[in-house]
């Protein structure tokens, strides 16, 4: 083999190596961006679900109110006590922290 052939083979090997390394870097970066986008879309989905839960919670709370002032406060307190575990779990789901209905008391 001549020196020119050896030089040409070396250049080809160098280009192939650069292409492989570049391809690996692009594949890794693409994977990381995809994972981040999926995680963000999951978080947005959980936020939308929580917002719809809050809207439903508010409409149910409004429907509970009787006419009298004292009764209104009592019935809302009872309603809130019954719905508090659901509310806490829905809020915890936004950050994916609701393994069960047992959430820490605040």
pLDDT, residue 29, reads 94
Give a yes or no: residue 81 inside a domain: yes
pLDDT, residue 22, reads 93
pTM: 0.53
What does 17-69 look like in DSSP terms, one character per residue? Answer: HHHHHHHHHHHHHHHHHHHHHHHHHHHHHHHHHHHHHHHHHHHHHHHH--SSH
Q: Specify the number of domains making up the chain.
A: 1
Give a yes or no: residue 104 inside a domain: no
How do residues 21-39 score in pLDDT, each as one tens digit? 999 999 999 999 999 998 8
Give a yes or no: residue 73 inside a domain: yes
How do residues 48-64 score in pLDDT, each as one tens digit? 888 888 888 888 877 77
| pLDDT at residue 71 is higher than 70 | no
CA–CA distances in Å: residue 98 to residues 20, 35, 49, 90, 92:
43, 22, 14, 8, 5
Q: How many CB atoms lie within 10 A of CB 55?
A: 10
């Amino acid at each position: 083999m001549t020196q020119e052939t050896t030089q040409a083979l070396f250049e080809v090997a160098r280009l192939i190596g650069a292409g492989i390394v570049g391809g690996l870097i692009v594949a890794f970066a693409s994977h990381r961006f995809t994972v981040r986008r999926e995680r963000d879309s999951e978080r947005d989905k959980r936020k939308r679900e929580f917002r719809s839960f809050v809207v439903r919670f508010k409409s149910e709370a409004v429907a509970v109110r009787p006419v009298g002032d004292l009764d209104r406060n009592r019935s809302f307190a009872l309603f809130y006590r019954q719905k508090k575990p659901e509310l806490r779990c829905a809020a915890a789901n936004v950050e994916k922290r609701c393994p069960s209905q047992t959430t820490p008391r605040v």
